[in-house]
């Protein structure tokens, strides 16, 4: 084996040992090609928050081994194209599967439209741009979880579902503190009316 080959092998082994020992920050892990699926879910959602074209969207992001699947609804072909573009640009994303459906916001029920109108009015003084609807709430919660990934929420696998402002949290977290943090963040998010906590504590080894 040449000196160069031995050096590469030694570096690869050192990176693997550091990752297993949990010594890398998320940024260092990304550089080493070890981005976790749960982190990518949060990162992709964070890209959606300030996109006006995605107003009225309700997108689910699923990631398995770096392969991102987008499901749910968007209001237009332009929104679909933008969501796919935003997902593809993230480090660690190997490919993006498009299962999005175009469903204009006009197709919602009268009650849902009334709720949405009220939410838009309430949020008008807070921000311009994308409306505070169920899809925005979902992405906002995930984005806030990403901020805490390097502390209590690392290794979490949380599914956020939002229906007319009512949030349901499913999935796993590594500790009781992580569970408390996840629920607290969801409750404090703009537009959230209630939070149902179905999270389970599943410590990592």
% of the chain with per-residue pLDDT over 90: 61
pLDDT at 130: 81
- In the chain, the DSSP E strands lie at 58-64, 67-74, 95-102, 157-163, 166-173, 194-197, 200-201
Q: Sorting pLDDT into bands at 50, 70 and 90, what band is 150?
A: confident
Kindly tell me if the per-residue pLDDT of 83 is higher than 50: yes
Task: Give the β-pairing of 157-163 and 95-102.
Answer: unpaired
Strand partners, 61: 70
Comparison of pLDDT for 149 and 127, the residue scoring more: 149
Predicted model pTM? 0.72
Q: What is the pLDDT of residues 159-193, one digit of tens each?
A: 999 999 999 999 999 999 999 999 999 999 999 99
Q: Which of 87-101, 104-118, 143-157 has the highest mean pLDDT?
A: 87-101
Q: What are the residue ranges spanned by the domains of the chain? A: 1-34, 35-201
Q: Are 194 and 203 in contact (CB under 8 A)?
A: no
Q: Are 37 and 50 in contact (CB under 8 A)?
A: no
Comparison of pLDDT for 150 and 194, the residue scoring more: 194
Q: Can you tell me the distance from the alpha carbon of 162 to that of 130, in angstroms, rounded to the nearest whole number?
A: 16
pLDDT at 104: 76
Q: What is the pLDDT of residues 48-60, one digit of tens each?
A: 999 999 999 999 9
Class of the CATH-defined domain 35-201: alpha beta
């Amino acid at each position: 084996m040449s000196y160069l080959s031995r050096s590469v092998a030694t570096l690869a082994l050192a990176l693997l040992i550091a990752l297993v020992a949990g010594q890398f920050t998320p940024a260092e892990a990304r550089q080493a090609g070890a981005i976790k699926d749960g982190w990518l879910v949060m990162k992709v959602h964070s890209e959606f928050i300030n996109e006006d074209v995605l107003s009225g969207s309700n997108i689910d992001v699923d990631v398995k081994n770096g392969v991102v699947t987008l499901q749910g609804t968007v209001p237009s072909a332009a929104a679909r194209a933008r969501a796919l573009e935003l997902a593809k640009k993230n480090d660690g994303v190997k490919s993006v599967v498009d299962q999005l459906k175009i469903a204009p916001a006009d197709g919602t029920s009268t009650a849902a439209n009334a709720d949405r109108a009220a939410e838009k009015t309430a949020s008008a003084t807070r921000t311009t741009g994308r409306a505070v609807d169920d899809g925005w709430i979902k992405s906002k919660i995930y984005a806030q979880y990403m901020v805490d990934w390097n502390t209590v929420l690392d290794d979490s696998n949380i599914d956020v579902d939002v229906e007319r402002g009512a949030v349901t949290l499913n999935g796993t977290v590594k500790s009781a503190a992580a569970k408390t943090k996840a629920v607290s963040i969801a409750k404090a998010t703009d537009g959230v009316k209630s939070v149902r906590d179905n999270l389970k504590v599943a410590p990592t080894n």
